[in-house]
Amino acid sequence: MAARTPARRSAAARVSVLQRHHGPDDPRLNDARRELRAAELEDHVRRIVDGAPPLTAEQRNRIATLLRTPAPAATG
């Protein structure tokens, strides 16, 4: 497993503390979980980018569009 960045370790610690001291539906816990997922995604993307050959402007724009486009709302 790759080393975790300080931001990711901090986000994981915050989730742990909030889980321990607050209920599962606490909005602060939900926010902390969202921040942790973002930190995990950032670490993953950084590893991929660091190992990839340089991208063209068109390729960068296509990939950036994925991050700018809102995900469809979950149903169920």
What pLDDT, on the 0 to 100 scale, is given for residue 69? 87
pTM of the model: 0.71
Mean pLDDT by 10 residues, the chain (76 residues): 78 92 89 93 91 94 90 68
Q: What secondary structure, in 3-state letters, does the chain show? A: CCCCCHHHHHHHHHHHHHHHHCCCCCHHHHHHHHHHHHHHHHHHHHHHHHHCCCCCHHHHHHHHHHHHCCCCCCCC
